[in-house]
Amino acid sequence: MTALASRTGRSTPGDTRRRLVVIGNGMAGARAVEEILARGGAVQYRVTMFGDEPYGNYNRIMLSHVLSGEEDAGGIFLNSLDWYRENGITLHAGVRVEKIDRFAKLVFSDDGRATPYDVLIIATGSRSFMPAVEGLYTPGGRLLPGVFAFRTIDDTQGMVSYAQQDHHGRAVVIGGGLLGLEAARGLQSHGVGVDVVHSGGHLMNAQMGPDGGAVLRRSVEALGIRVHTSSRTTAILGGDKVRGVQLRDRPDIECDLVVVAAGIRPNVEVAVTSGLPVERAIVVDDHMRVPDEDEIYAVGECVQHRGEVYGLVAPLWEQAAVLADHVTGADPSSVYLGSRTATKLKVAGVDVASMGLQAPERDTDEHVVFSEPSRGVFKSIVIRDSKIVGATLLGDSRKVAYLTQAFDRGLPLPEERVSLLFDLGGPGDEAGVAELDGDAQVCNCNGVSKQVIADTVKGGCTALSGVMDATRAGKGCGSCKLLVRQVVEWAADGAVAEDPTAAYYVPGVPLEKAALMTAIREQGLRSVSAVFAALAPGGAEDAKSKMGLASLLKMMWAGEYIDERDARFVNDRVHANIQRDGTFSVVPQMKGGVTSPEQLRRIADVADKYNIPMVKLTGGQRIDLLGVPKEDLPKVWADLDMPSGYAYGKSFRTVKTCVGQEFCRFGTGDSTKLGIQIESRFQGIESPAKLKLAVSGCPRNCAESLVKDVGVVAVDGGRWEIYIGGAAGAHIRKGDLLATVDDPGTVTLLAGRFMQYYRERANWLERTYSFVPRVGIEQLRAVIVDDAEGIAARLDEAMQRSVDSYADPWAERNSPFTPGQFRTSLPLEVLPRVPVR
């Protein structure tokens, strides 16, 4: 009944809409219809589509995934049959159009139907090219059993089921282009051994030159695929089914299955038969209209536009949009001027990108090439008049986004051409920023999108620090700073304003750390206000610089430092960590994560007495009392009667330990004892950023020593490994092995020496996971273990002075340092509170 109703509905006499007929239901035909519908075309047109294949419209690009089994055939449909029904489109699936009568405006299909049209779109696409090879067809004109093209769902499913049959264990793929390599890789996943036979001199010769092809060949062969280049297939062997292939001037290859992937040819027969202009493909103008035919359009792989025939999907999208603009009249000025094709894809697991020229053509063309066959990496860039006119990249797609942009827009290139190929000196960016969507969140802490950053740059702010100030991107955990920088560079088209403050230790004093320390020492500046007065422009204070200067001065002067409390961040003024509701968290020291029933009882009593809303175990093996109002802090500390755990400062925090040999049956070293020793020695030491340590009693590493700023691992034989520069927070990094030593005393000594070196050399807020790779583990080992610079004794002595000047800050509970130090700043109205559990 429904079917009947919809059928009569289509031929309602009152329906005055024009008739739009589309020949072809592939990616181009369906996309063109989608674009037309998006422009309100359903009001103007009744749409009828003819599709050769008995399905809705699917993503042909994904067929290689169906072949490899990564994707189910049902999963690659773009438009299901329901979509046609919902949009009132009459779909004749599995029906082939044979002829167009341009004068009567009728199309004739192989089911005997004559369908009238007012506007016609031809989107017949391409088919696999079948080379003239003996034995390809049976005498009846069908493909020999075991021979497959690789173009449709039916081809793909036929190939899969044939490959899965017993005794079909070897395949030959004819064609070493994109499609052939995809087929080879896909067949491998069915346990089939594959040979690729390619008539060209190197693989993917349409996309790259011989050098790139040679590197690609290595990568493909490393996957277990045999490659025969410059090899022409002369015959398919086997009378009833495939038994092998015969090559010219080469031995035959036995096989059970042959895939022909020797290129594609546009489907132009209907157009030729119907008298439309066809050269290499159906000729269209800039409106995607067939010349001299007002009502006939063509789109996709079956068209030839300004002499070009495209076999990629991107040009098709552009063509479909222009076509729809004209068919609906939405934009009569719309024109298609051709596509610059840049391809970026994964072929048989290898990243391949290519655009423009493969190789230099003129004497004056520059050619920048890098080849590293053992890693499967090849990069080639052709430059003409300081513009990229071609590029090939294999095995490493990191610069593709930038290069594509430079190619498309003709951007000015860096003087140092090698930086076109690599990001020099920085960690690699995983995704090119150009490819990020505008609403992609760049800073996950402060919720700043790429678009917001780009708009800020377009608004005239082109310095990184300015953009960060204005948007607060990168001002949370800081792990996105590199990405923020890249977005700024991208948005500024490379015209990023030089940011002199980036090199300063703190923004308000124009000196790098080493020069700043020299000036402080020479002028005897012992307080933050003295530094501003002597070294800042105009003697101006700068709120953003205070905390970093306070830390530096304390490190340099230890007991002689003049402590101005206004230079401290609130956490350091009240020795607790401020929370979102203005209350604080209190973490007492619990050395090495070892506590006692007596301590636990006191903590429990305090939690009861002060109605602590949440008691939480920390990642550093301590107990956190959350939600303490500022005015209660001194009383809480007094009742705890435990020292500060420094869970709030840019300082040495804690040493996490495992149980160790005392109890653990696997333990090889006394990790808890060493952890407690280290924590006792370095408690409260201020540093450019927080320091989290760990000691593990055996290589099982239960205290996670490999991802700590300083991590120690006991290994068999009474020895200890020291790792530095590890992290497992906003950034993940395995620490580098600094040294393996014989006794705990040396561990403490070297750990202290490293921390002192870090305190003196690291930039403000630079964690060890940045500092260690920046300086380099070899250099650090030379200085700290081998004393190559002769400064070990001085470092040890400086650290000792800091150790000696330690005083538990929670002792200030009895005599506040400043008036109202613990007076509430909390507004009286209720603010969001940490939820009580």
Partner 1 sequence: MSAGLHVLGPVDEIPVGEGRAYSVASEQIAVFRLRDGSLRAVSAVCPHKGGPIADGTIDRAVVMCPLHQHAFELETGCSTTGAGPLRSYPVFADGSQNVVVRFP
Site residues (vs partner 1, CB under 8 A): 446, 469-472, 475, 508, 529, 540-544, 546-547, 564-571, 573, 578, 580-582, 818-820, 823-829, 831-832
Between residues 7 and 544, which has the closer beta carbon with respect to partner 1? 544
Between residues 567 and 685, which has the closer beta carbon with respect to partner 1? 567
Between residues 501 and 746, which has the closer beta carbon with respect to partner 1? 501
What residues have CB less than 8 Å from 172, skipping those under 6 apart? 194, 195, 196, 197, 233, 244, 245, 253, 255, 257, 258, 259
Smallest distance from the beta carbon of 786 to partner 1, in angstroms? 41
Q: What are phi and psi of 250, to 5 degrees?
A: -135, 160
Q: Report d(CA 320, CA 329) in Å as an integer.
A: 14
What residues have CB less than 8 Å from 109, skipping those under 6 apart? 50, 92, 95, 96, 97, 98, 115
Smallest distance from the beta carbon of 521 to partner 1, in angstroms? 24
Rg for the chain (alpha carbons), in Å? 36
Smallest distance from the beta carbon of 766 to partner 1, in angstroms? 18
What residues have CB less than 8 Å from 680, skipping those under 6 apart? 591
Between residues 337 and 830, which has the closer beta carbon with respect to partner 1? 830
Smallest distance from the beta carbon of 828 to partner 1, in angstroms? 6
Smallest distance from the beta carbon of 541 to partner 1, in angstroms? 4
* H helix or E strand, kind and range, residue 265: strand 264-266
Tokens of 245: 């292939």
Between residues 234 and 446, which has the closer beta carbon with respect to partner 1? 446
Between residues 459 and 773, which has the closer beta carbon with respect to partner 1? 459
Smallest distance from the beta carbon of 564 to partner 1, in angstroms? 7
Between residues 508 and 643, which has the closer beta carbon with respect to partner 1? 508
Smallest distance from the beta carbon of 530 to partner 1, in angstroms? 12
Distances (CA, A) of 211 to 128, 207, 217, 225, 369: 28, 12, 10, 19, 10
Between residues 1 and 828, which has the closer beta carbon with respect to partner 1? 828
What residues have CB less than 8 Å from 124, skipping those under 6 apart? 23, 24, 266, 267, 268, 270, 271, 300, 302
Chain-centroid distance of CA 491 in Å reads: 18
Between residues 631 and 786, which has the closer beta carbon with respect to partner 1? 631
Smallest distance from the beta carbon of 546 to partner 1, in angstroms? 6
Among residues 61, 92, 42, the alpha carbon closest in space to that of 324 is found at 42
Smallest distance from the beta carbon of 371 to partner 1, in angstroms? 47
Between residues 404 and 456, which has the closer beta carbon with respect to partner 1? 456
Beta bridge partners of 368: 381
Between residues 441 and 446, which has the closer beta carbon with respect to partner 1? 446
- Residue carrying the six token digits 């098709």: 316
Smallest distance from the beta carbon of 70 to partner 1, in angstroms? 43
- Residue carrying the six token digits 């994964």: 346
CA atoms within 13 A on the CB side of 546: 16
Smallest distance from the beta carbon of 679 to partner 1, in angstroms? 27
Between residues 306 and 823, which has the closer beta carbon with respect to partner 1? 823
Chain-centroid distance of CA 487 in Å reads: 13
Burial label for 251, CB within 10 Å (0-12, 13-18, 19+), is: exposed
Distances (CA, A) of 189 to 152, 184, 221, 349: 19, 9, 15, 12
Smallest distance from the beta carbon of 472 to partner 1, in angstroms? 6
Beta bridge partners of 22: 49, 121
What burial letters (b/e) apply to 234-248, b meaning 16+ CB within 10 Å?
bebbbeeebbbbbbe
Smallest distance from the beta carbon of 369 to partner 1, in angstroms? 46
Q: Report d(CA 323, CA 120) in Å as an integer.
A: 11
Smallest distance from the beta carbon of 445 to partner 1, in angstroms? 9
Beta bridge partners of 259: 148, 173
Among residues 196, 185, 202, 199, the alpha carbon closest in space to that of 255 is found at 196
Q: Report d(CA 465, CA 194) in Å as an integer.
A: 55
Distances (CA, A) of 481 to 193, 475, 484, 669: 47, 8, 5, 40
Beta bridge partners of 227: 196
Between residues 62 and 570, which has the closer beta carbon with respect to partner 1? 570
Between residues 650 and 733, which has the closer beta carbon with respect to partner 1? 650
